[in-house]
Amino acid sequence: NGVNIGGATSSTYTIPSIVTADGATYTVVISGTCTPPVTSTASVLTVRELPEILADPASQTVCAGSPVTFSVNVGVTTNPTYQWRKNGTIIGGATNPTYTIASVATTDAANYSVTVNGICGTPVTSGNGVLTVDTSPAITAQPIASQALCEGVPASFSVTASGTALTYQWRKNGVNIGGATSSTYTIPSIVTADGATYTVIVSGTCAPPVTSNGSVLTVRELPEILADPASQTLCAGSPVTFSVNVGVTTSPTYQWLKNGSPIGGATNPTYSIASIATTDAGNYSVTVNGICGSPVTSGNAVLTVNTAPAITAQPIASQALCEGVPASFSVTASGTALTYQWKKNGVNIGGATSSTYTIPSIVTADGATYTVLVSGTCAPPVTSNGSVLTVRELPEILADPASQTLCAGSPVTFSVNVGVTTSPTYQWLKNGSPIGGATNPTYSIASIATTDAGNYSVTVNGICGSPVTSGNAVLTVDTAPVITAQPVASQALCEGVPASFSVTATGTALTYQWKKNGVNIGGATSSTYTIPSIATADGATYTVVISGTCTPPVTSNGSVLTVRELPEILAGPASQTLCAGSPVTFSVNVGVTTSPTYQWLKNGSPIGGATNPTY
């Protein structure tokens, strides 16, 4: 094939014993001294292969019904022919390089070989390809359809099956059971949880696996009590029910007991009393039986019957006690776990929570109606009858009679605040001496006189304790102003001299206001009013208004002041120039000269008879 053959350098080339690889095209290149070398024409060597089997048919294991094919590797055997054999016997028509069975049966199981021939040499026969035919699983005996067994005994399930290389997997309600992989599955001691439907899957070399019919295991439970009846504490009249948890006991029967003795007719899963009484208190249990095993009895459920509060002795209906003494209230009651709450006029008293309530020293505010609310474990609470406490007050004076200052003729009333003194009596006193008939809460004088002035008090007594006497109320009697000496009726004084007016009066806390012609004179507020030097304008009527604590004020009689004016000429006669024969009159302005008289003069000499204001 154009590639130098090592050592083949002569005119002849010989292959002593040809093999397949020697098949090729051979040429020779002849060279000499002169060029070029020459190459021969090709000589083709075809190697006819001896019959040979490089690989025997392979042994196979297949499931019945499957196809199978055997084949042989004859290498490069030239023009091979084939004859397949079964257990050494020629198979008619089986002359192909492969031999196929479309669907094997168990009868096809055998040793398969092939004889290969060619155009050279002698035929060769392969080794055997063994055909093994496996079968699918088939159940020939199903597990038992069902079984009902008592808890604690063994339960067994088994299956019989045919097939190749069988395996088993038991199941419980469709779930694989770990380790249950034989034809028989046994539960050594069954419990409630083992109650189920059991099946087994039988598998083998060949599909499909098969599942057995279900085998139902019913576990008959032993009598058991998972939870005892519960103890209960209830109030009389309440319903009660006891129950027991018997788990999955099969076909349980019940017998309830009280204090260990069977209760007639109490054969239900629960035992009820519609309305309990104190006589129902006791220990309740139940005996449970079944179709397997021995009866079992529960522990005791203790029924405690409490009673509602009931008052067996009421508090005292009423009591009237003097202030300062103790007061006590008590109640007697029956019932379970009683508690007490005393109330005053319906309002809880803090800390008053026993069957007796005592006030160590009563005061006015303690007068009330007292009740007690008795409660207990059971309803309803009960309230006692009311117990009325009347507090007889000691004599007391909360406010003394008030001192008073009044005008004579006024009414006066003295009163005293005796608080809540019970059934008080009164005795009024003046200057410490009892006043006849003055036994009322107040003492009055319709119209007081100055002789009524004094110290007034009152003695208060009651049905408890000792009498008490008030402090003094001082009565001061004021009098109204009275003029005992009037001002001088009138006076005529010459201008420039002093003028004085005075008044004398009696009465309380007198004040004075002098008036001139009815008009107040500023600063003229004493019993005497003096003008140091009178002038014409001071001529007037003077009065004084006297006021005091008591009304009415009084006004004095008028005192007339006449001012006698000094002679004066405000304007002299006027000079005149007239014609002879004309009249002439002279006049003079003498102001307010008191009672003036006139004397006209001519050239200093009196004119006889000229005594008029004019001349």
Do 423 and 441 contact (CB within 8 A), yes or no?
no
Mark 423-443 as b/e (b = at least 16 C-beta within 10 Å): ebbbbbbbeeeeeeebeeeeb
Q: Which of 306, 321, 343 is the last residue of a domain?
A: 306
> Which residues partner with 516 through β-bridges?
519, 542
- What span, in angstroms and rounded, lies between the C-alpha atoms of 89 and 108? 13
Whole-number pLDDT of residue 420: 86
200 with 249, same domain: the answer is no
Do 105 and 137 contact (CB within 8 A), yes or no?
no
Nearest Cα residue to 142 out of 77, 46, 211, 50:
211
21 lies in some domain: no
Which residue has 């020293």 as its token pair? Answer: 361
98 with 145, same domain: the answer is no
610 lies in some domain: yes
Nearest Cα residue to 202 out of 136, 293, 128, 116:
136
- Beta pairing, strands 454-461 & 296-297: unpaired
- What span, in angstroms and rounded, lies between the C-alpha atoms of 453 and 431? 10
- What span, in angstroms and rounded, lies between the C-alpha atoms of 197 and 124? 62
124 with 193, same domain: the answer is no
571 with 536, same domain: the answer is no
Looking up residue 266, the CATH number of its domain turns out to be 2.60.40.10
Question: Which two three-digit tokens encode residue 273?
Answer: 């009393």
Question: Which two three-digit tokens encode residue 248?
Answer: 């999955």
501 with 549, same domain: the answer is yes
Number of continuous H segments (helices) and E segments (strands) in the chain: 0, 60
Question: Which two three-digit tokens encode residue 463?
Answer: 């049905």
489 lies in some domain: yes
- What span, in angstroms and rounded, lies between the C-alpha atoms of 143 and 139? 10
Average pLDDT for runs of 10 along the chain of length 615: 97 95 96 95 95 97 96 94 98 98 97 97 97 97 97 97 97 98 98 96 96 97 96 97 95 98 98 97 98 96 98 98 96 97 98 98 96 97 98 95 96 96 96 98 97 98 95 97 97 95 97 98 98 95 97 97 91 94 94 89 95 94
468 with 514, same domain: the answer is no
Q: Which of 478, 509, 544 is the last residue of a domain?
A: 478
282 lies in some domain: yes
Total domains in the chain come to: 7
CA 116 to chain centroid, in Å, comes to 102
314 with 301, same domain: the answer is no
How far CA 574 is from CA of 233, 586, 588, 591, in Å, comes to 143, 7, 8, 16
Instruction: Quote helix, strand, coil % in the chain, to nearest 5.
Output: 5, 45, 55
- What span, in angstroms and rounded, lies between the C-alpha atoms of 576 and 52? 211
492 with 468, same domain: the answer is no
Rounded to 5 degrees, φ, ψ at 536 are -50, -40
Q: Which domain holds residue 250?
A: 232-306
Tally of CB atoms within 10 A around 174: 10
552 with 580, same domain: the answer is no
Q: DSSP readout, 573-594?
A: PPP----TT-----B-B-TT-S
32 lies in some domain: no
Q: 3-state SS of 464-483? A: CCCCEECCCEEEEEECCCEE
147 with 127, same domain: the answer is no
How far CA 390 is from CA of 361, 364, 609, in Å, comes to 13, 9, 114
575 lies in some domain: yes
Q: Which of 195, 220, 245 is the last residue of a domain?
A: 220
**CA-angle at 136, arms to 134 and 137, nearest 5°:** 125
pTM for this entry: 0.44
- What span, in angstroms and rounded, lies between the C-alpha atoms of 371 and 363? 18
22 lies in some domain: no
Whole-number pLDDT of residue 142: 98
201 with 239, same domain: the answer is no
Mark 43-77 as b/e (b = at least 16 C-beta within 10 Å): eeeebebbbbbeebbeebbbbbeeebebbbebebb
Whole-number pLDDT of residue 592: 84
- What span, in angstroms and rounded, lies between the C-alpha atoms of 214 and 211? 9
Rounded to 5 degrees, φ, ψ at 365 are -65, -15
Whole-number pLDDT of residue 248: 86
- What span, in angstroms and rounded, lies between the C-alpha atoms of 602 and 615? 11
